[in-house]
Amino acid sequence: MDPELAAAIASSGASNVKLSPDVASTRGFFHAAFTESFRSFAKPRLPLESLYEVHEQTIPVKNGTISVRCVIPADEDKHKTYPVLVNIHGGGWSVGNKEIDDCTLRELCVTLGLSTVNVGYRLAPEHPFPTAVDDCLAALQWTAENTTLLRVDLSKGFLVGGMSAGANLSAVVSHIARDDPFFEGRRLTGQLLREPLVCHPDAYPERWKSELRSIEENKNIPPVTREFLDLFFGWYNSPPHDPRFSPLLYPSHKGLPRAYIQCMELDPLRDDGVVYAKALLEAGVEAKLDLYPGVSHGFHYVWPTIKTADKVREDVVEGVKWLLNMEVR
């Protein structure tokens, strides 16, 4: 284990955290541990507010509405257009909100000249599977239909991405959008998959079973243990073999947009990302994988000052550049 991470886990008592089956308690814990710790770290580093515009929008969806936060580069030339990233936050489909990635998206907007759409999808258990899938697909469709508002040219880049559950949902909607005539002429061009889950542990296909070992090997390593994952699986209540939860199980990955994938060595979900990269490459899809030694799932949110967390954040920028065919360092 990375010495800085080991010290952070020891001093924080993260190894002794007792999970509550109460949704409100878990949401409060997650918000404090992941969202607020990272926001307090990132806020002083935010670019000047004059460099971007923020618009909150409401999107009608089946049986309700969702919100999206759009961050658009500020430019005197109002005819200038940008690529776009639709961001789907993590949190086990049950916790988290738009705030968790807000700072990162503002930085990406200014650093890369990139419009971003940050999706506030409805959460389980109040809104179980497949609500999150449907909401994120609706946000993707809304983005494709509102390029003028977003000052976007989809031919410059139409990306979807997220971390953890957000990466899972990004992989799923990438498959759905590939096959949906709605997106004809405005296809996704890239996936940003950060520490993705791509298959329920009860649905591992025989082909990949021997390579999906991390769910057991790393089951007790904070901050996101197998116990956490099982709690979230229960709340989301998806059939394990449904490819809208386990996108590794789609019959084909051919024709998907290129993918940049990040994995942590000590993550229970490490092998999900590694195997998915292999599956994409076998299907002729460009995929780039970065694997970080000695660190665990989501550590860079909870303990953002650790040196390896800097590397993870820097690589997100470089990964998005690669997805957009920009010059990479």
pLDDT band at 256; cut points 50, 70, 90:
very high
Residue 109 lies inside a defined structural domain of this protein: yes
pLDDT at 235: 96
Residue 329 lies inside a defined structural domain of this protein: no
pLDDT at 172: 98
Residue range 74-99: mean pLDDT, rounded: 94
Which residues does residue 288 pair with via DSSP β-bridges, in sequence order?
Answer: 260
Known catalytic membership, residue 297: yes
Residue 310 lies inside a defined structural domain of this protein: yes
Cα–Cα distance, 258 to 288 (Å, whole number): 8
Domain count, the chain: 1
Model confidence at 199: pLDDT above 90: yes
Cα–Cα distance, 68 to 138 (Å, whole number): 11
For 49, what's the count of Cα atoms within 13 Å in the CB-facing half-sphere? 4
Residue 92 lies inside a defined structural domain of this protein: yes
Residue 256 lies inside a defined structural domain of this protein: yes
Residue 328 lies inside a defined structural domain of this protein: no
Of the residues 2, 134, 135, 267, which is catalytic?
267
Residue 145 lies inside a defined structural domain of this protein: yes
Q: Which domain holds residue 32?
A: 3-323
DSSP 49-77: GGGEEEEEEEEEETTEEEEEEEEEE--S-
pTM of the model: 0.97
- Between 24 and 324, the more confident residue is 324
Cα–Cα distance, 141 to 55 (Å, whole number): 17
Q: CATH number of the domain at 208, please.
A: 3.40.50.1820
Known catalytic membership, residue 164: yes
Q: If DSSP codes are grouped into helix, strand and coil, which group holds residue 46?
A: coil
* pLDDT single digits (tens) 95-117: 999 999 999 999 999 999 999 99
Token pair 């988290």 in the structure block, residue: 96
Known catalytic membership, residue 170: no
Residue 115 lies inside a defined structural domain of this protein: yes
Of the residues 31, 253, 297, 300, which is catalytic?
297
- Residue 152 DSSP class: B
Residue range 6-30: mean pLDDT, rounded: 85
Sorted by sequence, the CB contacts under 8 Å of residue 251 that are 6+ apart come out as none
Model confidence at 263: pLDDT above 80: yes
Quickly list H helices, the chain: 3-12, 23-30, 37-42, 102-112, 131-145, 147-150, 165-179, 214-217, 226-236, 270-282, 299-302, 307-323
- Between 43 and 57, the more confident residue is 57
Model confidence at 240: pLDDT above 90: yes
